[in-house]
Structure 1
Amino acid sequence: MPKFHVGQTDGGGDSSKFEIDVASLTKHAIILGATGSGKTVLSKVLVEEAALQGIPTFAIDPKGDIGNLAFKSATFDFSKWSEKEADALKIDRTEYAKSLQKMYADRMAEFAVRQDAHAEFAKTVTVRIFTPKSSAGLPVGISPDLSAPKDFSRLLQSDVSAAADLLDLTSYNLLRLAGYGEDDRKEITFVSALLEDAWKSGQSVTVKDLIRRIESPPISTVGSLHVSDVLGDKDRRKLVTKINLLISDPKLRSWSAAESLDFSELMKGPSINVLDLRNIQSEQEKHLFVELVLQQLFQWLIKQGSAQTLRYLLYFDEIAGYCPPVREPPSKKLLLLLIKQARAFGLGLLLASQNAVDLDYKVISNANVRFIGRLGAQRDIQRVSVGLELDSFAEKEISRLKAGEFFCNTFDPKFRGVIKSRWTLTYHRGPLENGEIAELMEGMKEEARQAGQVKTATVAATEEVGEEAEPKVEALAEEEPTAAKEEEKLLAKPKQEIHDDFLIAAGAHATTFMQLERKFEPKNLQSFAKLGNNVRSIRVLSTEQEEVFHPIFELSASVFEKGFAKQSLDKLEELAAFESQLVPLPAAHTLAPQRAVPAEARREAEKWKGELEKRTATLKADLQAKFDVIMEEKRIEHIAEKQARPKAKMADIDASIARLQDALNAELDSVKDQEKLYKQLKKEKAKKSRLISAENRIETKKQKVVTTRRKIEQLHTDRQALEDKLAEMEEEENEKFHAALSQIKSKSSFAIVGWLIETVYRARIIVNDKKEHAGDVRWSSYTGRGTWGRCSACSIPLESGSACSCGNLMCNRHLAYCKACLEPACTDHRALCYICNSTFCARHSARCELCGLPACTGHSGACSMCNRKVCNNCSQKKGLIKREIVCRSCSPS
């Protein structure tokens, strides 16, 4: 059975090699560990092993850590991508690349990785990086896939649950893009019935086909009801109009500008396909995009048919935010569906997170392989232990883990112990920059462009012979509403011109409406009413709903220079004016249909103009600071590029000077030897001919020395000229750099792009079954905060406070508690004892019928003779134990 080489269990070598069966991953794997635990390295190792086994991976990457799987090399030569890291460490680039090469080779030997693994990976594995809402990598968008699944009729009979889920998800995601929510079950059911009718006969549907089918349904009944009883003509027309928003709404149009993912092409052979989400600014849009991508993946899986072996791998890094235990983000439903059903189609899930407690328990319970790395604190270990139901042995092992070590627990086959992850075959470093992604994907983009040209030529040839090519999405030929036309005119203006009139124009016609979820209803009013103590009951008599509109602002800034740097930086923010502050869009909301925005809400939006200008200026300032770094890097890059050839010549000259200097030194030594020989011959009175011969040799050597010295001097002169040239180049480039600084341009803008709708309840309530409150009883169904009537003393609206036993409300400033029973009492039902100066409620105080002053029950009583209520100062106690109270009027003088 094929295995993945993950690492080793102890000392090293082949005997300790740790491998997991490929089949075990069909039941999914999860990796937990704090930052720096080696979680990403282990994840990449599993993805690399899958690729080496010919299993394609689709990776969802929220942080940008997975894309550097594209840094592959058959010789571990990562010099092309390690330069910035070397510069940051202040190490020579060449030396650093060599040290990396040696380190990676040593790591492979340490973990006994087969010698040709990295070369095979570099040669055979295709790594693609998709960047939605960015042109840095391979572009990708959202387009509804309504094509018929393979053998859908058989699936409908053999697995009704899977078929129903597929129909529901396809219909829901299509309608969600058009502005419908999960509560619009009639529309979802109707579209599902149309798709089921088409798919059963093997017909794929386009958006155009669907629109025509909605207008003239090919089916007469949905369930046991007639089509018109499920969705009337008026509702069907409204449905058609909203589906048309898929191509008319500017926000959705930006998503459909690029092609959707073609999983049939991606999941061929050994490949790693990374979906980098960093360029999607809004968290809500990230969740929506992930949801729709996973829906397309699930649809595609069903079309591939069932399988018992691992055919594909889905890797999701930092999954916690997309599948939390309590909240229900849009992507959670799809993830849980894949965890439950994907194994039947040969898809294994590899999920990574920092903590088990942040994940829905269904994710953990369905994971056959669990890796737990080093955690930050003992508290984190205990939380993970509770989430995974670990024993004391596992907790002890986890507490001792080092970086790169994991406590591994597999259920099929059984294994339980500590393993050490092997190192990656690819260059592992921080997130890729957009420029690096663009460079890595340039070849694939060129292939895609060429393929697009071929496709265009094919379509043109088809049109020449009279065949009609059907478009994937077609707009309805209808006259758009006046408001939409006005909005298009507004959006067509330059952004800086929008500053003055965006508040009225965009506020009046913004088409994106988002409905906040209702978390608090009248039925659970008492569970969140902040009325302090003594609130025995709150009963709602009647409620009225109203909608409160909060503007959604889009802030954008860009900095660019087209001559020197030839780059641009852009940043986009979406903020909602909510609860008296600008906040990111709340996650708990759904798209809502068009609304008429009240004039008061538009006027309120104008108050944010100053704050928006400040925030936009901050955005631009941040980009300018980053652009200054880019400009400096470009200056250094330009200088290095221009000086490369002169520096190479200087290196050659230095080598020549060194060689000639060595030759000169040898000649000088030879001259000394010849002169020494000449003196010896002269001393021995040798023949004249031998002396003359020795003199000639000395003279020849001296001439060579002179010639060599002249050559060295000339080379030094040439080198000095090159140094002067380098200085001129640097000065010239610096002049261009300073000139380019004045050519840096920046843009910034802000505008209303939509409205956040909050449902608010107004009500009549009865507190303690005694006092009715209305008018100022008002609360948000989203936050549960609001006002609960007015203070009986000062009449200010209350957000919190207490209630008297009579039902009167009191603010904290006028709140007083009875000293006897500790219950709050309003001004009408409390008194200040003039004897002890303490506050008492009506039950524990009385007014003296003789002096007329209030007194508490401890300092007052009833006269035993006339039964009048009297204070202690107006009475006296009599009797043997002085229990009888006699008032001053009844007491004998």
Structure 2
Amino acid sequence: MPGRNKDFYLGKTYDLETKALQEQQVFYDPDDLTTHAVITGMTGSGKTGLGVIMLEEAALQGIPAIVIDPKGDLTNLLLHFPDLLPEDFQPWVDQDAARREGISVEEAAEKAATLWKNGLASSGLGKPDLEALRDAVEYAVYTPGSDAGLPVSILASFSAPDIPWEGNREILRERISSTVTALLGLIGMRNIDPVQSKEHILLSNIFEEAWKAGKDLDLATLITHVQSPPFDKLGVFSLDQFYPQKDRFSLAMQLNNFLAAPSFHTWLEGQPLDIGQILWSPSGKPRHSVFYLAHLDDQERMFFVTLLYTAIESWMRTQKGSSSLRVMVYFDEIHGYLPPVSNPPSKTIILRLLKQARAFGVGLVLATQNPVDVDYKGLSNAGTWMIGRLQTDQDKARLLDGLEGAAPGVDRRSFDRMISLLGKRVFLLHNVHDSRPNIFHTRWAMNYLPGPLTRTQIPAVNALVKATERAAERPAAGVLSSTSEESPAGLGRDVAPVLPGSVPTFYYPDNRGISDAQQEVGSQIKGDIPRPQYFYRPELVGQARAVYLARKYNISEEVTFTVRIDKMQRRGLVRWENYTVQPLDLRMLEDRPLPDATFDTLENLSIVDARLLKDLENDFIDWIYRTQTLKLRLNEALGVVAEPGDSEETFRRKCENAMQEKLQAEVDALTKKHASQLKTLEDKLSREESRLDNYKSQLGHRRLEEAGKLAETVLGLARGRSRSVSSSLTKRRMTSQAKANVEKSELEIKNITRDIERIKSEQKDELAKVEQKWAETLEKVVVEPVSAYKKDIYVDRFALLWLPYYAFIKGEERVIVPAFRWGS
């Protein structure tokens, strides 16, 4: 057990030129941490591993620690397995990584166990070290704003401090300023200037008025004081001049909306933000408390980090001074909390602690991937630098600026060169308490490091170190005992039945109002209806999307299939068609149950284990592939295919429109053909009618001439002129010819008119046939089934789902009704 007297064992020296690991061990005096430390390195440099090692060493020295874990990496601090058995590693191995490697989870666990055993041996560590680490401190993962881990109550942050107002005004006003800035940030007010912001000034004065009198505040009281402050003036102005009542009401509403939100209730339950309790057990055993923040949004993280550092500072002020490391505060990724330009609520308090905490034996460790994102003043306050491989020259330049600020006179060129040569798990250690820097390769971490854990894994990791049981022993609001089996009312269990870690589990929201449920049970319970309890029942829920492709018709349709199974008919056999339900918006599902709920057994779903669940999922996919087809309605004659979502009426209308278009096109063609023929005949008719008119005119004229010539002939004969008889006969012949022309023309006109009528009749008959033909195509609709390829079936969820019910219990009467509406 090297270096267990006092110093932290970090690793072994490393030659940058030859890139060779040497045998000389590297130690670090923990008391040097009172001047704080910065760990920096890009992704993959081993920065997180080094942080874990430092926290392991602190634990072995009995030094308590507060760990701020924005991403979930530091939850690995609870994964120490002294026996190095594969089955210990198995629940935590990355199943996706194992699948990519083509090995089973069991093989991956055995591989991890062997890797850790060999790695620890290479660093001179073994089972005694792991057992010492396990027993040295108590571990727990806290999840502020969630009950996935141990919840945290922030109410203590508004309580009057233990130190008196008089003599500590400056310190307490700084705490008030940080608390108010964090609170305003939580309701969406950013970049608050404490001197210019009316909201900040008002809330700060309310806090000061209460704390001066030694009175605690809570949010409800704070909201009341916003509307009716306990003072009449702010500065030289009256309260209403400085901050009109209407505007104060608006601020009160913003705070009240936040307080009224159901999600805020978890901020008021659990372990009070009492740093003394967080650092030591009632028996005095040190604690390493990990504050997991991955589930929070940016505003909520900023709010909690500010309150936590403020609480650390307040606790620190009640302690005696110390030159030895008393407490370690580790922040795994400081990016965004100590930026170089803006001033978020966390920045002021962190800078203040960097300057003042060393006098109280509190060592801050700040880890970051990008030094360029950290304020120069923060970097220059650190006495220890552990520098890994960096991503950009800009990061290196910022780091060197910080080094020069912390230790003027450093050889910038020499450091620049060394930093450029660093590799994975190789760090440059610069300590202002030592004369020269060290290059070292980190030792093997004693904790298993599978990477960030998810919120759903937090209960299991806390159970691993019995943190939940210890929390249940403390009188902390909102923390339920996990050892209770039957609820006080005897309805179900207080905790959900244990499932394999690989079985996904979700909770349906309670989206049905209590009043609606009370009306339903009104006729079943005599007298007053009691307030219901929440009771969960389990079901298997599967939801998959099948994409149907009919490329011939340019159709792509996605269909969602959802099934709910509350009871298995027979092991491994499911008639999926009997369990289909309305699709579900998966975003509704939650990853934790309602508080104070009880749970039914898994008796009806006794088959639930990871392997069988996967078999069922595959069978669900196969059922969709084999039996579920897309019914494609089409009319090939018209070239119409029903689009996804088309109703019968819509499809019929599309067919009618297509039929009308095709009918009109053929009608137009026929009309055009007949129109040409008719025009020819009508033009011929017009010419013949003109000719007839001319012939009739000529006939009339000839008849007049003939009559005149006859009279002249008769007179001539009477006078004895024989030549006049011949001329009269000529006129007669001309009249006869004219009459013949008229008769011929009239006959031609009759023939042309008959042809016109014939063509019109033919046109009418052909149009009727065309209309009949296209009308008949409307009925030529067929349904063509289209199947989805297996590769186009995507399972979105196949999991155990707990559905909430209202349990109305009155004496021996019990009525259970759903507390949910499916799909809404």
2:424 aligned with 1:409: no
Q: Which structure's relative contact order is higher, taking Cα pairs within 8 Å and 6+ residues apart?
A: 2
- Contact 1:152/1:163, CA 8 A, preserved across alignment: no
- Map Cα deviations across residues 534-584 of structure 1 (whole Å, 9 max, x no partner): xxxxxxxxxxxxxxxxxxxxxxxxxx995347999xxxxxxxxxxxxxxxx
- The answer to whether structure 1 residue 436 and structure 2 residue 453 are counterparts is no
Conserved 8 A contact 1:62-1:317: yes
> What is the alpha-carbon root mean square deviation over aligned residues?
4.7
Alignment correspondent of 1:813: none
Counterparts in 2 of 1:470-869, with a 5 A limit?
Answer: 562-564=538-540, 638=609
Determine helix, strand or coil for the equivalent of 2:9. strand
Matched, 1:425 2:446: yes
Equivalent residue for 1:169?
178
Q: Are 1:274 and 2:290 an aligned pair?
A: yes
Give, as a single letter, the amino acid of the residue that structure 2 aligns with 1:36.
Answer: G
Is this contact kept in 1: 2:139–2:467, CA < 8 A?
A: no
Q: Secondary structure at the match of 1:322?
A: coil
Q: Distance in 2 between matches of 1:215 and 1:367?
A: 44
Amino acid at match of 1:107: G
Q: Match for residue 125 of structure 1? A: 137
Work out the CA distance in 2 between the residues paired with 1:249 and 1:241: 12
Within 1, Cα distance between the matches of 2:398 and 2:537?
A: 51
* Pairing partner for 1:334 from 349, 353, 371: 349
Alpha-carbon distance in structure 2 between the residues aligned to 1:222 and 1:277: 37
* Cα distance in 2 between the residues matched to 1:238 and 1:44: 46
Whole-angstrom distance in 1 between the partners of 2:54 and 2:178 = 30
Query: Is 1:313 aligned to 2:289, yes or no?
Result: no
In the alignment, residue 69 of structure 1 is paired with which amino acid? L
Question: Given that residues 179 and 242 in structure 1 are in contact (C-alpha distance below 8 angstroms), is that contact kept between their aligned partners in structure 2?
Answer: no
DSSP-derived class of the 2:83 partner:
coil
Separation in structure 2 between the aligned mates of residue 72 and residue 51 of structure 1, nearest angstrom: 12
Q: Does 1:263 align with 2:280?
A: no
Residue pair 1:638, 1:733 contacting (<8 A) in 2 also = no
Q: For 1:111-510, what aligned pairs fall within 5 Å after superposition? A: 111-113=123-125, 116-140=128-152, 142-143=154-155, 145-153=157-165, 155-156=167-168, 160-174=169-183, 177=186, 182-183=192-193, 185-207=197-219, 210=222, 243-249=255-261, 252=264, 255-256=267-268, 261-268=273-280, 269-280=285-296, 282-304=297-319, 306-376=321-391, 381=396, 384-386=399-401, 388-389=403-404, 391-442=412-463, 443-445=466-468, 448=471
The answer to whether the 8 A contact 1:132-1:279 is kept is: no
1:37 Cα offset (Å): 1.1
How far apart are 1:306 and its partner, in Å? 4.7
Tell me, in whole angstroms, the C-alpha distance in 1 between the residues paired with 2:393 and 2:453. Answer: 33
Q: Does 1:50 align with 2:50?
A: no
Superposed CA deviations along residues 260-288 of structure 1, whole A, max 9, x for unmatched, are 544332211332222222222x4344333
CA shift at 1:61, angstroms? 1.9
Provide the rounded CA distance (Å) in 1 between the counterparts of 2:147 and 2:339. Answer: 31
CA deviation digits over 1:364-388, x for unaligned, max 9?
1011100111234667545644554
Cα distance, 1:226–1:305 mapped onto 2, change above 3 Å: farther
CA distance in 1, matches of 2:145, 2:85: 32
Report the Cα distance in structure 1 between the residues aligned to 2:542 and 2:468, rounded to whole angstroms: 20
Q: Report deviation, 1:16.
A: 2.2
Task: Indicate if the aligned counterparts of 1:131 and 1:140 stay in contact, CA closer than 8 A.
Answer: yes
- Structure-2 change in CA distance of 1:307 and 1:567 (3 Å): farther
Report the CA distance between 1:449 and its aligned residue: 5.1
Give 1:126 deviation, angstroms: 2.5
- Superposition deviation, residue 216 in structure 1: 7.2
> Is the Cα–Cα contact under 8 Å of residues 178 and 244 in structure 1 kept in the other structure?
no
- The one-letter code of the counterpart of 2:136 is T
User: Which whole-Å CA distance do the structure 2 matches of 1:75 and 1:734 have between them?
Assistant: 37
Change (3 A) 1:178 1:417: closer
- Structure 1 residues 386 and 347: CA distance shift in structure 2, 3 A: closer
Report if the CA contact (8 A) 2:14-2:22 is conserved: no
Q: State the 1:179 CA deviation.
A: 6.8
**How many residues are matched?**
495
Equivalent residue letter for 2:302: H
Matched to 2:539, the amino acid is G
User: Offset of 1:108 from its aligned partner?
Assistant: 3.4
Task: Give 5+ residue unaligned stretches, structure 2.
Answer: 405-410, 481-509, 514-535, 545-583, 592-604, 627-824
Is the 8 Å Cα contact of residues 190 and 230 (structure 1) preserved in structure 2? no
- SS for the counterpart of 2:88 is coil
Change beyond 3 A, Cα 1:167–1:213 = same
Preserved CA contact (<8 Å) 1:62 1:318: yes
One-letter amino acid of the counterpart of residue 425, structure 1: M
Work out the CA distance in 1 between the residues paired with 2:199 and 2:439: 53
CA deviations on 1:684-708 (whole Å, 9 max, x unpaired) are xxxxxxxxxxxxxxxxxxxxxxxxx
Q: Which amino acid aligns with 2:120?
A: M
Letter in 2 for 1:63: K
Decide which moves more: 178-187 or 349-358: 178-187
Residue 122 of structure 1 deviates from its aligned partner by 1.6
Question: How much has 1:398 moved relative to structure 2?
Answer: 1.9
* Aligned partners of 1:4 and 1:46 also within 8 Å: yes
Aligned to 1:791: none
Highest CA radius of gyration, 1 or 2? 2
- Check 1:283–1:741 CA distance in 2 against 1; reply closer, same or farther (3 A cut): farther
Cα distance in 1 for partners of 2:320, 2:221 equals 26
- Residues 620, 179 of structure 1: CA spacing in aligned structure 2 closer, same or farther, 3 A cutoff? closer
- Counterpart contact for 2:81–2:88, Cα < 8 Å: no
Shift of 1:310: 2.1
Shift of 1:145: 1.9
Secondary structure of 1:80's match?
Answer: helix
Shift of 1:38: 0.9
Q: In structure 2, the residue corresponding to 1:326 is in which secondary structure?
A: coil
- Assess, with a 3 A threshold, how the Cα gap between structure 1 residues 243 and 308 changes in structure 2: closer, same or farther: farther
Partner SS, residue 179 of structure 2:
helix
Kept in 1: contact 2:64–2:328 (CA 8 A): yes
Pick one of 89, 92, 99 that aligns with 1:81. Answer: 89
Distance change >3 Å, CA 289–CA 639, structure 1 → 2: closer
1: distance between equivalents of 2:213 and 2:312?
22
Find the residue that maps to 1:310 and give its secondary structure: strand
Structure 1: how far apart are the matches of 2:289 and 2:476? Answer: 24
Q: Could you tell me which residue of structure 1 aligns to residue 122 of structure 2? A: 110
Is the 1:125–1:270 contact (alpha carbons within 8 Å) kept by the matching residues of 2?
A: yes
Contact 2:11 2:440 (8 Å CA) reproduced: yes
Change (3 A) 1:155 1:172: farther
Q: Partner of 2:417: helix, strand, or coil?
A: helix
Q: C-alpha displacement at 1:433, in angstroms?
A: 3.3
Give the drift of 1:100. Answer: 4.0
